[in-house]
């Protein structure tokens, strides 16, 4: 069965600093991988996704993620964080065929001035 | 373009009362539909998914049920709510297999059982 681990529950980053959120997955076949962002009390918005091809994926709002099969990881990065990036971030893995996403427990990002 | 509507946005219900949350999708046909629950510190838990009308799969045993009476309508129900049913409920849809298979989420319903 698929599973996702986000080891960091909270992360605090200074505005303008770089960001990396960790995600490790477990899945027997080639995974579909996603990063979503959730503002308080809101639904989830897709930041980026990986299905195949180039392992470095660009997303919206200046985010990128790198798929590393050897490490079973799909870490999210941003070179310079803005205060508006404060939110909760979820990594998810989907199976081929029927798309049933399994989510990690999320990482809450706090941005300090 | 496709849109997903979920209502109500917030709901406070007494223990033992029934529940009905509704989700509808517009602008697409024959979508996969999902109900997720989000509890603090526990991420999103998939409760139900549906690949078609009256085709519902349950992921976890619980006090809830789901129905899909129409192609783009997905309903989450309970006959008698428990305190543990409190949480943030999210409806989502996705295309069938293909490149665009991410899930698109509604704005969620905050359910508080008192």
Task: Express each pLDDT in A53-75 by its tens digit.
Answer: 889 999 999 999 999 999 999 99
Query: Residue A96: what pLDDT?
Result: 59
Q: What percent of chain B has pLDDT over 90?
A: 71
Q: What percent of chain B has pLDDT over 70?
A: 96
For residues B102 and B95, what is the distance between their CA atoms, to the nearest angstrom? Answer: 8
Chain B residues within an 8 Å CB radius of A44? 44, 90, 92, 103, 105
A55 at interface of B, judged by CB pairs closer than 8 A:
no
What average pLDDT score do residues B54-67 get?
A: 89
Paired residues of B78 in beta bridges: B19
pLDDT tens-digit map of A74-89: 999 999 999 999 999 9
Chain B residues within an 8 Å CB radius of A31? none
The set of residues, in sequence order, having a beta carbon less than 8 Å from that of A53 and lying 6+ positions away, is: none
Chain B residues within an 8 Å CB radius of A97? 97
Query: Residue A18: what pLDDT?
Result: 97
As given in the structure block, the two tokens for residue B93 are 């849809």
Q: Quote the strand ranges of chain B, DSSP E.
A: 3-7, 10-13, 19-26, 32-38, 44-52, 55-58, 65-70, 73-78, 87-94, 104-105, 109-113
- CB-facing half-sphere around the CA of B54: CA atoms within 13 A: 0
Chain B residues within an 8 Å CB radius of A88? none
Cβ pair A36, A46 in contact under 8 A: yes
How much is the mean pLDDT over chain B? 91
Indicate the residue of B88, B101, B108 with minimum beta-carbon distance to A99: B101
How much is the mean pLDDT over chain A? 91
CB pairs under 8 A between A and B: 62
Shortest Cα distance, chain A CAs vs residue B4, angstroms: 11
For residues A112 and A17, what is the distance between their CA atoms, to the nearest angstrom? Answer: 10
What average pLDDT score do residues B31-55 get?
A: 88
For residues A107 and A60, what is the distance between their CA atoms, to the nearest angstrom? Answer: 18
């Amino acid at each position: 069965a698929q599973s996702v681990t986000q080891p960091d529950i909270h992360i605090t980053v200074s505005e303008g600093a770089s960001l990396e959120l960790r995600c490790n997955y477990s899945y027997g076949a080639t995974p579909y991988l996603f990063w979503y962002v959730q503002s308080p009390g809101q639904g989830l918005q897709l930041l980026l996704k990986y299905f195949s091809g180039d392992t470095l994926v660009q997303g919206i709002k200046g985010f990128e993620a790198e798929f590393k099969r050897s490490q079973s990881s799909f870490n999210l990065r941003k070179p310079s964080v803005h205060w508006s990036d404060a939110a909760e971030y979820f990594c998810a893995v989907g199976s081929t065929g029927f798309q049933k996403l399994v989510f990690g427990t999320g990482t809450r990002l706090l941005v300090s001035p | 373009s496709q849109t997903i509507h979920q209502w109500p946005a917030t709901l406070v219900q007494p223990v033992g009362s029934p529940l009905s949350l509704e989700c509808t999708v517009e602008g697409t046909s024959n979508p996969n539909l999902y109900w997720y629950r989000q509890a603090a510190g526990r991420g999103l838990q998939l409760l139900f998914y549906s690949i078609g009308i009256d085709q519902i799969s349950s992921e976890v045993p619980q006090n809830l049920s789901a129905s899909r009476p129409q192609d783009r309508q997905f309903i989450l129900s309970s006959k008698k709510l428990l305190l543990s049913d409190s949480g943030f409920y999210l409806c989502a849809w996705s295309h069938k297999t293909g490149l665009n298979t991410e899930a698109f989420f509604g704005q969620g319903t905050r359910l508080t059982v008192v």
